[in-house]
Every structure is written in C-alpha cells, then in structure tokens.
A = this chain, B = another copy of it.
Amino acid sequence: MKTPIEPIERVIDELGKLPGIGRRSAERMAYHLLAASEKDAMALAVAIRDLKKRLHPCRVCGAVTDGDLCVFCSDPDRDRSAVCVVESQRDALALDETGAYRGLFHVLGGRLSPTAGTGPEQLSVEPLLARLDGGEIREVILATNPDLEGDGTAAFLAEMVERRSGAKISRLARGLSSGGQIELAGRDSLGAALANRQPLRGKA
C-alpha cells in the first residue's frame, strides 16, 4: 500500500532501510508514530539524533562512547594486562556480558576482506599495535568472528602482534554450541570439537 502522503511515505522509506524491516513492518511503525503523541514520537527522533551527535570512538580502544574513554577503558577494576580484539562494539558487549572476561577490549571496526576491499589501513590495527608498546599488555585475545574472513584477520593480527610484542596471543575456542545437538552441528564445528576435546580424567 503506497501512501500518497509524502511525510508518511518518507518515514516508511527510512524505516524500511533498517535491517530486518520490510515494507509492512515499516508501515505499521510509521502509522504507530503518526498516532502516537508528539512527545513519544519525538523521543525516538531525538534519541537517533543524539546517537549520532553525542557518540564517538574511545580514543584508546575505538569502542563508541559519549565520554573521553569508553566504559571499558575507564573502568579501574579491569585487568589491564589483557586485550580482547573484536570486530565490533557489539562483539565486545556480548563477550563482556558473559562475565568470563574482565580485561580490556580493542574494536577493529570491521575485518580484513579482500572482496569488500577492506585492508589493514581501514581497520584500527595501528592503534592496537601502539597499545602494545607500553609493555603492560601481556595477552592479546583475537576474538574476530569464527569464519573465513575472521580467521584471516586473526592470522594477520597474530603475525603483527608477534612482531611488535612478546604478549601471549590466543584465539577463542571452537566447538559445539552449548545446548546444541551433535547431529545438527556443522562439520567444521564438529571437527573443532574433536580436535580440541577436553580431558576429563585419566592420563594420556
């Protein structure tokens, strides 16, 4: 249903550009906003504006922040000897939420991609290496995604980090998803689960 009213159509268009939002959903949302109070609708418009105006990358790690340092870098309780290197902010938040890691992060802002034409100079690689120079960082966890480009990025970074520092370099473990089923697991995950099998008892 094409709306002949330009301001409505424009909101539908713009909402339709968001990920996972089709024409129908965008219409429902636009008409909801139309019917909503001016206060409620404007709260969304202002929140989006603030998102773009108030946030910028942390000057140390590249995570977005509205301050000088991000929530990670400014936290005095974090272990400053470990840096976990991620492709995006969301990855950092997801890893942090596990509670299994209390070190610092470094946000690359993407991954190496020959097809997309993304090279090291488009990513926050040099700032990562510069962070190593202080000598405080003793472990670098390469937490790029477990896929072809993520693995390639990790391999590249491992070499760069090794040249620049004596820090331990690790990569997130591969294996079965917790709660998953062996018969449904992918061949690569299953292979990794076998190769990285964990000893339970007895000796080799």
The answer to whether A89 has its CB under 8 Å from any CB of chain B is yes
Q: Which chain B residue lies CB-closest to A18?
A: B29
A198 to chain B, nearest CB (A): 27
Task: Say whether, besides A14-B47, A49-B45, A8 and B97 are in contact (CB < 8 Å).
Answer: no
Contacts of A14 in B (CB 8 A): 43-44, 47
A155 to chain B, nearest CB (A): 25
Which A6-43 residues have C-beta < 8 A from chain B? 6-8, 10-11, 13-15, 17-21, 25, 27-34, 38, 40-43
**A66–B7 CB distance below 8 A:** yes
Which A74-104 residues have C-beta < 8 A from chain B? 88-90, 93-94, 97
**B33–A18 CB distance below 8 A:** yes
Which A167-195 residues have C-beta < 8 A from chain B? none
The answer to whether A50 has its CB under 8 Å from any CB of chain B is yes
**B66–A6 CB distance below 8 A:** yes
Interface residues on A, range: 35 or more
The answer to whether A71 has its CB under 8 Å from any CB of chain B is yes
Which A52-85 residues have C-beta < 8 A from chain B? 52, 54-55, 64-66, 70-71
The answer to whether A200 has its CB under 8 Å from any CB of chain B is no
| The 7 residue pairs across chains A and B that have the minimum distance between CB atoms | A14-B44, A45-B48, A10-B47, A45-B45, A18-B29, A11-B47, A4-B71
A/B interface sample: 21 pairs, CB < 8 A:
A3-B93, A4-B71, A5-B65, A5-B70, A6-B66, A7-B51, A7-B66, A10-B51, A11-B47, A18-B29, A20-B28, A21-B29, A31-B89, A33-B51, A34-B55, A41-B52, A42-B48, A44-B45, A45-B45, A45-B49, A45-B52
